[in-house]
Amino acid sequence: MFTKMHGLGNSFVIFNQLGVAKEYQDYSQLAQIVSNVSFGIGSDGIILICSSDIADFRMRIFNEDGSEGRNCGNGLRCVAKLLFDQKYATTSSFTIETLGGVMSVEVEEDKEKQVQYVTVDMGEPKLIKSKIPMQGDPCTVSVNEPHSFGDDVYQLTCVSMGNPHAILFADDVKKVPLEIIGPVIECSDLFPERVNVGFVTVINSQEIEYRVWERGSGITMACGTGACAAVVAATLNGMLERNLPIIVHLPGGDLTVRWDEHGHVWKRGEATYICHGELVTYTNSYSSMINEREK
């Protein structure tokens, strides 16, 4: 059984593995099959909800290309809503383990006692290059730092919110050829684990616009960790002030992000059900097609 959900258009097929005695093994291939819009269900990736030894629950995310992600802000909100709505979480505040660390979440119910908004404590941003990770002096930060990619030079501000982000600024993010620039920076040798690439336009002191190319998925409607990284990057470049709630406009909708005086980044937004269903067995011919595409 699966549940398909989205956070501002960033969609996931979620499998609840709580209480499952034997887990499926090849999640990388499963993500590629399920995410395919023509032959599968169609999504930006799959999420597994598992038990945890260090938190209340654990989340694993596999991107559309089969790679495993370290964290996902929109995915966290979807998982938090599902866990609370289905009574696995019995309090409005609980913790979820990710590869990027343990995240604290708090849910807000609507009149029908269903979760409408989820606030996530995304923790402290990691700024030094060894923690992004990226090439260069491991103890320095990359704030408005020029880097060459072929014949082009881009000013990067790099932030990890449990996964790596390279943030750039533009007068109008809608006019940025993200489909061209995104994969060039994502796969550059500058980032040994690849990187998410986001463009920001600062509208005013409490609003920004943001578009993202996600590693392993390409252009998506929204990215929660990217929205957090965008606010941190704009603040580091003197464009925003600390501890103010910033509305981040993404193609799929809005998030509210605040980088507080203690260093933690807070993100608040909605999560929505799309459908529930049962995953049938896929044919060997389709698996062969996936393998052929990877060659």
Catalytic (active-site) positions: 72, 223
d(CA 283, CA 234): 48
Q: Is the distance from CB of 267 to CB of 197 less than 8 angstroms? A: no
| Number of other CB atoms surrounding residue 106 within 10 Å | 17
Cβ contact 216:233 at 8 Å: no
Kindly provide the residue ranges of all beta strands, DSSP E only, lying in the chain, ordered along the sequence: 2-7, 10-16, 45-50, 57-63, 68-69, 93-98, 101-109, 115-121, 145-149, 152-160, 164-169, 196-204, 207-214, 218-220, 246-250, 253-259, 265-270, 272-277
CA 144 and chain centroid, separation: 23
Spatial separation of the C-alpha atoms in residues 49 and 23, rounded to whole Å: 11
CA atoms 272, 34, 224, 207: torsion sign: negative
